[in-house]
A and B are shown apart, each in its own frame.
Chain A
């Protein structure tokens, strides 16, 4: 059986250097404003009082996110032209020639993976570096990570080793699309909620 791939992201190991983001942009020659992989900086907390002293009680961690090549890809489900398809090995790819540029996939995807290329008038997204993968190489983002925070592999093996991902902020419920994403969570993910945490670099990641 063909492997179904997944990304593995060790949140606590990520330093937020964005080498993955830049390597992806470089590898695929992405247009201005298009980021197939984005590093979200999640931050929250406030001052808290300890007797007579006010001490900072804050947290910050990163989330590197591309396309999770979901087992139930809602982007492919809703695409009106059938331009988005799932390969036999589970990779979800866009056929740019068929894309009408309606952006409906971007509305539907809860991970922000489909990115509109205004120059081409079409949707684009992470291909898991399918050509490199087929040639036995690693995806550019994984290859670039200096902290070994980002890995990839067969989904079943990664889930067996690290468990399945949960819906920690700001990630959506994985039951919606069954994403190929395994996260080793940062210790503060449980503190981050919509009201207590923000994406601190919202402008950078085009949110």
Chain B
């Protein structure tokens, strides 16, 4: 199995997109409820943390190449190649997201410009997850060419992104309890939906069975979070770890099975 860099690239970038969108929703919610400064206290640190995740994702995509010095050519076939389109979306997401983070952090630029940058980054993030799924929907690879591929890639963003943000919220010091309780419940709800979608999309076989157990455990943890005080850090971290394990295993199986060919 030499597709480890791609397991990392797809999972990290889907997590980054999910986390960016979660932070956007969280930021707007907190701003309406408690004002802009409270919103910034809640989201600024985590927004910056997305940077290294995206950096690591792009780096692992390079590790997969035989001739990385030709990587600059990779967006040259936008007319027919979803791989080119994926690279373009990834670069747009990274650049718009970075520009937004820098402006927000330094306070430079108008509020309207920052909003526009955030919207561009969010939209290209969603486009990135879609393009990434289309990359694998090759008409010659029946195992990949199903709507389940698209479902699973978006479910990964919905699972790992919000859970990563939730984990950050409970682990970072100085975040007021009353502000995070509501969002953490929403995060548990979205993650439960993500787990559910992945259970529905899971394949057959022993390793898929192990993965299905992880996903069911994830749903149970989400329900526990919803019923309890979601600020309970160990449960949230455990949910994130379970989701990560399930998705790493799932992505490994995805490549192994898709690349098993007749000729």
Contact = CB atoms under 8 A, between A and B. Distances in A.
Nearest 5 A-B pairs (CB), nearest first? A101-B66, A121-B66, A81-B73, A170-B262, A80-B83
Contacts of B73: 80-83, 98, 100
Contact of B65 (A65, A79, A101): A101
A74 B140 contact: yes
Contact of B262 (A100, A122, A172): A172
Contacts of A116: 66
Interface string B65-86: 1111011011111001111100
A122 B66 CA distance: 6
Interface string A154-196: 0000000000000001111000110000000000000000100
B155 interface: no
A77 interface: yes
Given A79-B81, A80-B77, A207 B67 contact: no
Nearest to B83: A80
A19 interface: no
A108 B76 contact: no
A70 to B, nearest CB: 10
B259 interface: yes
B81 A207 contact: no
A112 interface: yes
A200 interface: no
Interface in B43-90: 64-68, 70-71, 73-77, 80-84, 87
Given A65-B263, A83-B73, 20 more contacts: A76-B80, A78-B83, A79-B83, A80-B81, A80-B83, A98-B76, A99-B67, A99-B70, A100-B74, A102-B65, A104-B135, A107-B258, A108-B141, A110-B261, A110-B262, A118-B66, A120-B66, A169-B262, A171-B263, A207-B261
Interface string B182-201: 00000000000000000000
Contact of A80 (B74, B139, B140, B258): B74
A109 to B, nearest CB: 7
Contacts of B76: 80-82, 98
A111 B141 CA distance: 11
B138 interface: yes
Contact of A100 (B70, B82, B258, B263): B70
A103 interface: yes
A92 B258 CA distance: 25
A40 interface: yes
Given A107-B141, A109-B140, A102 B64 contact: yes
Contact of A77 (B71, B80, B141, B259): B80
A104 B140 contact: no
A44 to B, nearest CB: 14
Given A98-B73, A176-B139, A80 B261 contact: no
21 contacts: A40-B263, A65-B263, A78-B138, A81-B70, A82-B77, A100-B67, A101-B67, A102-B74, A104-B135, A107-B138, A107-B141, A107-B259, A110-B262, A110-B263, A112-B261, A121-B65, A122-B66, A172-B262, A172-B263, A194-B262, A199-B262
B140 A108 contact: yes
A81 B68 CA distance: 12
Contacts of B70: 81, 98-101
Contacts of A100: 65-68, 70-71, 73-74
A95 B253 CA distance: 32
Contact of A78 (B64, B68, B80, B263): B80
A111 B263 contact: yes
Interface in A5-28: none
Contact of B263 (A102, A112, A121, A122): A112
Contacts of B65: 100-102, 121
Nearest to A63: B263
